[in-house]
Structure 1
Amino acid sequence: KNYSGTGVSASAAANWEFAPNYKLSIVGSHQQRLPLAQELYANGLHFATNTYEVGNPDLEKESSNNLELGFEYEGAKLDYHAHIYHNWFDDYIYGATTARNGNLRGVEYTQDKARFYGAEAEATYALNDTYKFGVFGDYVRGKIEGENAPRIPAGRLGTKVEADFADGWSGMAEYYHVFNQDKTASYEDETQGYNMVNVGLSYANSIADKNAYRVYFKADNLLDDQVYSHSSFLSNIPQVGRNFTVGVQYDF
């Protein structure tokens, strides 16, 4: 069955600086999304996610009305912002797990009314010209026809230190805690929370004042904690443990 369709999206925003350095914002949008080829025509094993996927050629376009409210402050040393949002979906397209045998899941693409809502916030403070300290957090909930939406990540709360040294050197260190996710959909297991500690160091410069480059080193999950990603089809399989990355970025 061939598919053709047209999607239309529109958005509008308003900002109010009601006092020096303070701003309120509101963003409203209407978005439409056409189904992907995989959502329409899949019929077989997907080895990367260990699922047997069945598409639905009768899917209609997905539509949503979205509202986001924001509050921001930007000072000489202190910055912070908080945003809350709510998304209302008609014909929300998703992969519903309809059967499970061990780690193998049967997934059928379907659509229903849904709503997602959540919040995210961050605050940073410049301790001096070199170091900046911050805290952050985010949380999201998803409901499909009154039931928990599948593969919704758990809430997160953390802190971060960034350093801008002289002569092109910079670094960062962050810690965050991801909470347990017990708001599960059909055939899902609860996922336990975990602690994540990451650090990084980089050096940036340019060659002949033209071609910029950056050399960086990252060390992630230094605690070697067991990490389970609820947003994955493989949420009961641990993610990578302690790991290190060295890289070079070159612009020309």
Structure 2
Amino acid sequence: WDLRGELDLTSRWLRTVKLSAGLTDYEHRELAGDVVGTRFLSDAWETRLELVQRAIGDWSGSFGVQLGATDLEAEGDEAFLAPSATDVAAAFVFEELRRGDWRWLAGARWERQTIDTTFRDRPLARDFDAVSASFGVSRSLPRDWIVVATLSRATRIPTVEELASFGEHEATRSFEIGDPELDKETTWGLDLALRRVEGVVSGELDLFWNRIDGFIYERPVPVPAGVTTDLPAFMFTADDADFRGGEARVEWRLHDRAGRQLALELSSQYVRAERRRDGTPLPFIPPWRTSLGLHLHGPRVFGLIEVTHAADQDRVFCEPGLPASVCETPTDGYTTLGGYVGLRVVRKGLVHELILRGDNLTDEIARNHVSRLKDFAPMPGRNVSLTWRVDF
């Protein structure tokens, strides 16, 4: 369940108090054939208190605290993770200054996390403190253009799965090996963006560069000595890494009249990631991807037809000493066709939508490079569905 509430204040400095709390009792089962191989049980709670400042001139912002805890347990013959308890405490602040065409943003977060579990029958207790901060600036330009720059330093604490896994994980068809000595990831990031939000032609161009110290990833390795398994082995490993890439989107409004819009949209995404010490490509990095879609927006009829292309991914992870059978394998590109058409009707305050949707209409055999199941389970083939949705 979730509980959310707000209280408006009459204080000179504070405008609103926001409180949220949640409790989750979660279970899922992973099948090995017709039997349950692993059963995951998770009990978690989280609460967040946020104080929103009353605007002082051009200044506004908020600050608060967050507390939470998670108990995770994996049961079954294929359980690869011992029971664990994770506790989290955090504090955060966000400030914004608007002055003319300029907008300045700054934020910071401190987090403390404790993890108690076992690794290969040995007790494992880790404590982490993480500090993250960001600073951004944007400026509105003539003809509805906006330019944005953001500099950030982010810290990520390793998960209990990355620290303490050891065993077969049938859902990913892999033997997973954690590293109890993993430290925090620290990322320095720079993001630059140019956007146009109005006009017949609109769009955005986003470029990013991330320098990550201690980047945690799953590295293909030989099966450990003394272990009997038919599954490939992956070990959680930390290496310094560099990520760079970008995303572009352009929309051309072909028709806009009487509440009806017809627009052509072209979008593309690309990321390049490699280990800093030797330039080796990191595993499970998505290929260049682009989409071309024709959108129809109307009060009654709406729809989309879209072509998506993913390029070959031949920048794969391998290093000296690894057998070829252990190295990451290239993935062929693919092109898919999909879309939907819908009818919207309003009756007695209810909004009814009838939507006919089709995915991969050409029944292309497509494999997702970032999935460890790509050689066993391609992406879904041709799929057609009819949905009736009611909003009230």
TM-score by length of 1: 0.91
Q: Does 1:188 align with 2:328?
A: yes
Give the corresponding residue for 2:273: 142
* Of 211-220 and 137-146, the range deviating more from structure 2: 211-220
Give the corresponding residue for 2:239: 112
Matches within 5 A, 1:1-252: 1-99=124-222, 104-129=231-256, 130-145=261-276, 146-167=279-300, 169-186=301-318, 187-204=327-344, 208-209=348-349, 212=351, 214-237=353-376, 238-251=378-391
Greater relative contact order (Cα 8 A, min sep 6): structure 1 or 2?
A: 1
CA contact (8 A) 2:342 2:354 kept: yes
Q: Distance in 1 between matches of 2:343 and 2:176?
A: 45
Cα deviation for residue 45 of structure 1 reads 0.8
CA deviation string 1:143-174 (max 9, x = no partner): 1232100001110122111102332x311111
Q: Distance in 2 between matches of 1:53 and 1:3?
A: 20
TM-score by length of 2: 0.60
Q: What one-letter code is carried by the residue in structure 2 that aligns with 1:116?
A: F
Give the corresponding residue for 2:109: none
Q: Distance in 2 between matches of 1:89 and 1:182?
A: 23
After superposition, the Cα gap between the structure-2 partners of 1:200 and 1:56, relative to the gap in structure 1 and judged at 3 Å, is same
Q: Distance in 1 between matches of 2:229 and 2:254?
A: 51
Q: Distance in 2 between matches of 1:79 and 1:199?
A: 22
Give unmatched runs, 5+ long, in structure 2: 1-123, 319-326
Q: Distance in 2 between matches of 1:184 and 1:10?
A: 32
Q: Distance in 2 between matches of 1:93 and 1:34?
A: 10
Consecutive aligned runs of 4 or more in structure 1 exceeding 6 Å deviation: 100-103
Give the corresponding residue for 2:111: none
CA deviation string 1:87-121 (max 9, x = no partner): 11011111111137998310111101011110110
Cα deviation for residue 79 of structure 1 reads 0.4
Q: Distance in 1 between matches of 2:293 and 2:389?
A: 23
CA deviation string 1:196-249 (max 9, x = no partner): 11111234456642x655443321111111101111112324221111233344
Q: Distance in 1 between matches of 2:213 and 2:155?
A: 10
CA contact (8 A) 2:210 2:244 kept: yes
Q: Distance in 2 between matches of 1:83 and 1:140?
A: 12
Give unmatched runs, 5+ long, in structure 1: none
Query: Which one has a bigger Cα radius of gyration?
Result: 2
CA contact (8 A) 1:191 1:236 kept: no
CA RMSD of aligned residues (A): 2.1
Q: Secondary structure at the match of 2:163?
A: helix
After superposition, the Cα gap between the structure-2 partners of 1:44 and 1:177, relative to the gap in structure 1 and judged at 3 Å, is same
Q: What one-letter code is carried by the residue in structure 1 that aligns with 2:248?
A: A
More strand by share: 2
Q: Secondary structure at the match of 1:191?
A: coil
Cα deviation for residue 2 of structure 1 reads 1.2
Q: Distance in 2 between matches of 1:9 and 1:217?
A: 44
Q: Distance in 2 between matches of 1:128 and 1:178?
A: 29
After superposition, the Cα gap between the structure-2 partners of 1:8 and 1:222, relative to the gap in structure 1 and judged at 3 Å, is same
CA contact (8 A) 1:28 1:67 kept: yes
CA contact (8 A) 2:168 2:231 kept: no
Cα deviation for residue 62 of structure 1 reads 1.0
Cα deviation for residue 18 of structure 1 reads 3.2
After superposition, the Cα gap between the structure-2 partners of 1:12 and 1:250, relative to the gap in structure 1 and judged at 3 Å, is farther
CA contact (8 A) 1:99 1:105 kept: yes
Q: What one-letter code is carried by the residue in structure 1 that aligns with 2:264?
A: F
Q: Secondary structure at the match of 2:171?
A: coil
Q: Distance in 1 between matches of 2:379 and 2:174?
A: 18
